[in-house]
Structure formats: structure tokens, C-alpha cells
Structure 1
Amino acid sequence: MRLTDFWSRLGEAFGDTYARSIAADHSFADLGGRTIDQAIADGIDTATIWRAVVATYPDRVPSRLH
């Protein structure tokens, strides 16, 4: 998944402002305790990051974005 697609999906699921907050502030267990921003900086594949978001927020992410 391209980084631009990842940010688009995150923004669509949470709204752009809240998406940026989640990316900076929420630590994901599936990412080894990293935030989204840290995982991207560490070179984690965006598809892996997206799966962690979906697993953590299954009710927030519409099924069409899975």
C-alpha cells in the first residue's frame, strides 16, 4: 500500500485531524508499542501498519477500507 493511500484511508476512517492525533499519540501493540509515525519512520510496511489499525479499531474502520 502506498503511503498516500494509507493516509487517505486513515483520514477517511477517523477524519484528518483525529487521524494525525492517532498517528502521533497511540501506541499499537501489533506494532511493538510503536505509534504509526514511529512505525513509518522505522520502515514498517504501511499494509502492516494498516492491519494494526484495523485490528485495534475494528468498529471505526469501514469494511470497504479493509
Structure 2
Amino acid sequence: MFRKLMAGEFGQVRAEMIARDHVLSSLGGRTADDALEAGTGAKEVWIAVCEAFDVPGNRR
């Protein structure tokens, strides 16, 4: 579901780039992919991405 939400919000290519490359301080200085691999819940990662990219609340 996380990947689907990311692609829906950012487009497939940009979503993959963000998940792989964008370091989020709210996730302990990890990327979304790193956080997911470390066991952080997808919902927590999605919220962190939304906050970092100012995704409106109705699309979170």
C-alpha cells in the first residue's frame, strides 16, 4: 500500500527516487526505504513523507 500511495501522490518515478534518496530527519536520518527495511511501520513512514513534502491532510 505504501508504494501505491507514493506513486499516486508523486508519480512512479519520483516516488521511487524519494523513497530511495530523500533522507528524513523524522525517521532518524534515514530514507523511507531504509526505515521500512529497519522495521518502521509503513503508516509512520508515509506520514513522515507527507509532512516533509507538505502533502495536504485530505490526501494522507
Instruction: Please confirm whether the aligned pair reaches a TM-score higher than 0.5, indicating the same fold.
Output: yes
**Unaligned regions of 5+ residues in structure 2, if any?**
none
Letter in 2 for 1:64: N
Aligned residues: 60
- 1:20 and 2:16 are equivalent in the alignment: yes
Among all aligned residue pairs of Structure 1 and Structure 2, give the percentage whose two residues are the same amino acid. Answer: 35
More strand by share: 2
Relative contact order higher in (CA < 8 Å, ≥ 6 apart): 1
Q: CA RMSD in A?
A: 1.1
Per the normalisation by structure 1, the TM-score is 0.83
Per the normalisation by structure 2, the TM-score is 0.91
**Unaligned regions of 5+ residues in structure 1, if any?**
none
